[in-house]
Structure 1
């Protein structure tokens, strides 16, 4: 007996999705899309239609999410690594990552490694809102004599506004991203997340295009911390 396709929507969901499809109401004239599919048996990734047909995500964000979901655990998905892999520049990739984070397909966690070093870990969620914390330790039941308390999660402060460069050349923005990523070698406290790096890159680029040297920018960012 052939197994059912787990990604196939139910009849009810199919009818609802069809009502909002851009081709709804158009006559079938023999044209349009046709599929010539072969069932995968190895090296494939199951991607939900809620992602591939997302109504608010850009095409770049959807493609980037599919790429990230296909990667093995431990793969590098920071802006610098993704820019080296794809022709899109750092600015577009950073914007796509922010889209995915805003819609729940990515989240970032700061963890402490051996030796006290704090790093940022990116978690890919194939079903936002139904994330399975398989890589976390299982929760232990509370002690009978203790009443568990729930602490409110701290809210992330809004990032301050930064200057915008007159020129948005990819090479200039990449130089700014590289400079920010290199700050942790000069001060371990300056380990910036992907979101922070993308936000600050335009301000650093504005300095660089005014002929401020990278050394001067680095000193301005690390002095008197």
Structure 2
């Protein structure tokens, strides 16, 4: 049976492709305070601003490409069963070739109904406008988990982490909950590696590779043999 590698990824892996990280040191994202563009209250207050913000993110996403880190993870599927659990809302893992990706915080390339969260539409890199509605006539919104909202895929992600033979954490500071709590779902016997150039939150017994995603993953694969 193939070894199962579960990979938790965050903004650091997408930053190498040129995408802005969600929370920079100044608390702004593309010059917007996140609480003005990434909360249900913001959407109620200024729907047009929020939609425009995500339309811009979608257009930006269309202009960037997967980087070597995304491709390394995809190539691992030649030897292992690989599941990527990502906090990122971009589609770079899929475009890089990964076949099993769980998005914790939603997906930029999808829209959903404001009335029925189960009504989700693939929109690619197209805009969402005020007045664009679902099949039942309710306004569409980005298929994104905003601050203050539940993370519907969290239980499924925890189940996946519990089946890991190796846990790999790439490009995330492990400081944003509830996603950061996933590292505690792994069995105590399972080797854990953290790849991040900064100072990720302490994970007991983890091997830490303090390098960027692409360089660190290449090093980790060499160590695998």
TM-score normalised according to structure 1 size: 0.22
TM-score normalised according to structure 2 size: 0.22
Q: Which structure has the bigger radius of gyration?
A: 1
By relative contact order (CA 8 Å, sep 6+), the higher-ranking structure is: 2
Q: Which of the two has greater strand per residue?
A: 2
